């Protein structure tokens, strides 16, 4: 007998919304901020010389299995859009080359990655992309340069 009395006074109310509730608009969903507003690949994060070294890595190692279209195809671009540069770098580092994963140096992976950036029309800058995890993780992959 005491339980129903406690429940009735507990503050749980199953009443209909008040008259003003219908006039209130639902709160808008927060917009996901674009990674394009943060440091990213459109900001010249590699040098021409570094991408040239990446081209040499591609020719000596990567071209055994990959054609250039592999790195410019819409499926590739969509997969990595707005991912961190480190995520793509690490994917290459851990899995390539086929049959000998993990055999590339950090510099070779970074250089090959900068070649991929250049293949996709991203601008070079004045400073090489570093090979350390923290620096690589500072940038987001954005494929289109904002005009």
Show contacts of 30-35: CB within 8 Å, 24+ apart: 34/82, 35/82, 35/140, 35/141, 35/142
Instruction: Please count the other Cβ atoms lying within 10 Å of the Cβ belonging to residue 52.
Output: 14
Q: Are 49 and 55 a contacting pair, CB within 8 Å?
A: no
pLDDT tens digits for the chain (147 residues)? 444 444 444 444 444 444 454 556 556 556 667 788 899 999 999 999 999 999 999 999 999 999 999 999 999 999 999 999 999 999 999 999 999 999 999 999 999 999 999 999 999 999 999 999 999 999 999 999 866
């Amino acid at each position: 007998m005491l339980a129903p009395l406690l429940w009735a006074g507990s503050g749980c109310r199953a009443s209909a919304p008040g008259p003003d509730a219908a006039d209130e608009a639902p709160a808008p969903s927060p917009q996901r901020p674009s990674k394009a507003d943060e440091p990213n690949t459109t900001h010249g994060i590699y040098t021409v010389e570094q991408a040239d070294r990446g081209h040499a890595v591609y020719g000596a190692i990567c071209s055994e299995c990959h054609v250039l279209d592999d790195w410019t195809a819409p499926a590739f671009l969509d997969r990595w859009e707005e991912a961190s540069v480190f995520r793509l770098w690490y994917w290459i580092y851990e899995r390539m080359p086929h049959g000998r994963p993990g055999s590339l140096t950090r510099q070779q992976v970074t250089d090959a990655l900068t070649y991929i950036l250049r293949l996709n029309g991203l601008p070079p800058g004045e400073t090489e992309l570093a090979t350390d995890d923290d620096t690589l993780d500072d940038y987001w992959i954005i494929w289109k340069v904002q005009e």
